[in-house]
Structure 1
């Protein structure tokens, strides 16, 4: 997986030089997404929980804690809350509650802010809306096993529909935009579907629906905020006079002109794009260990504020 011919650190270094001449998006997925589907999700969630609480004033922390207690009850336990999609939903809830107690307006619908890449056209693939809706629902059903199974299966089926190839979408469906940020969001939807399947394995101890997110498009559009041909010449000139680190990265990632499908800047953008879309996959490589995880999350134990009766 990833760029076998180009180490991720070389691609990232080359991209940092290229963005001086031609800004293009940071394709890296949200750390919350990657961390909460990893084998160390429980540790990441505890650290995030404490970091969010530490950022609040005493009054805000009191309101934050009360919001959690209202949702989960005085015991403060969340079934399987330390792992996978439930951990991700809790991380999202912490951020949402923190913004609310600070007096910020937070939408209760649409793509979850900060979890997906912002598209310059304002378009998000259907997976983003399905995932966002599911994550907002989970805190209210996490401690209800039968409801959790029912809703998880329903949303998994919807994700499978969302990931249908274009020819199966039908005439009345919105035609997906095949650009760089949209595809990262689509791939995140695929990884979420895999994690949701893992979650169902956990709670049912058996087989579940197989999840298929579809392949990558061949005609991907990269949103480069420049004239690629002109900026590409400036970029190449900069590489030639740069330090050895930059020149080594260039040689590692672009061995000859045959490596370049379009312009050199589109090639560099694609290198970091490929690394970004595989990042969640690397976090989920130990599927058997992930399925075996059964860790609940104790909100009360890690609360920095008083968990009042």
Structure 2
């Protein structure tokens, strides 16, 4: 897994160069997965929060902060918001609110835009819809341990059921889970599923100790993907190699680093470039967690203080309208 002799930046550069010659799907995942589900999630979330705020005009920042206050209340603290799936949900919320205050369209359902790898055919496995729905709900229940536990359990049960359903379809060869983009989205879904188990362990170590033995169980089948290149690979190979010879020094250096040791590829150069990018995306699992740091990840229980990290003015007092919304919203969610 991963290209040990070919750095990710070089693999991405070569793949991008090849994609200009023969269009094929990008296999680059959202950095939110590797950052917000990592052991350094709080650090990355703070940086992302700052980056989003600095990208807004003063008026947009005011509206952005207002949206956060309305969701989380006057204290602006999010329980376990600095770690794991809650950190990921906050990163998604920041992006969503930023788009809204800029007047950009935002989908309220379906796959979260930009989070998963875009399939050119528009297909996403059911896990993508389940995860997207959960992440949109988390900000509204994160400060209520009971609702958060129930919501996380429900999402985990649903993902496990969807995994089993896909396994049956895979046996009957009725679903293209070997397709490059689909297999990567399933891989990201499995990473998220593991992170949900960690979240349950954080919420209640006593109740969910039995999950520790099964944290890494399951996952999508491990097999070589099918790359659907929108060109004649053999013809495109000649164009690709000729273009590499005329490219700048940086591209040529990246190509040399990413060539197989014997200088030969088993398929075509275009498929080799696509597979390198695909493997680097899948390599994300080793960067996020491993069994060696499982206890350290479970021990993470850091809240996130939106108010302390806000660049705009976080009002100390709610307006009457905000107080009414907050009371009604929390009452409906049985949190008071």
TM-score normalised to structure 1 length = 0.89
Distance 1:95 1:190 in 2: 23
Which of 208, 226, 231 is the aligned partner of 2:236? 231
1:39 aligns with 2:36: no
Q: Any idea what the Cα deviations from partners look like across 1:219-276, whole Å, max 9, x if unmatched?
A: x32132322110012223445677662563254x25254x51x323112211220111
1:105, CA displacement in angstroms? 2.4
- Whole-Å separation in 1 of the counterparts to 2:149 and 2:312: 32
> How many residues are treated as equivalent by the alignment?
305
* 1:289 aligned onto 2:296: yes
Unaligned runs of 5+ in 1: none
Please, which of 264, 281, 284 is the counterpart of residue 269 of structure 2? 264
RMSD: 2.6
Contact 2:183 2:220 in 1 (8 A): no
Q: 1:166 to 1:69 in 2, by over 3 A?
A: closer
CA deviation profile, 1:137-164 (whole Å, cap 9, x unmatched): 1011101111111111111111112222
SS in 1 for 2:116: coil
**Cα gap change, 1:54 to 1:9, in 2 (>3 Å):** closer
Hey, what does 2:311 align to over in structure 1?
Answer: 304
Whole-angstrom distance in 2 between the partners of 1:132 and 1:183: 17
Which stretch of the first structure deviates more once superposed, 134-143 or 44-53? 44-53
Q: CA deviation at 1:84?
A: 0.7
For structure 2, which runs of at least 5 residues remain unmatched after alignment? 318-336
Measured in 2, the distance between the counterparts of 1:303 and 1:10 equals: 36
Q: Is the 8 A contact 1:37 1:280 kept in 2?
A: no
Q: Does residue 202 of structure 1 match 2:209?
A: no
- Summarize the alignment of residues 1-12 of structure 1 with structure 2, pairs less than 5 Å apart: 1-4=1-4, 6-12=6-12
Which range moves more in the overlay, 53-62 or 104-113? 53-62
Distance of aligned partners of 1:181 and 1:67 in 2 relative to their CA distance in 1, 3 Å threshold: same
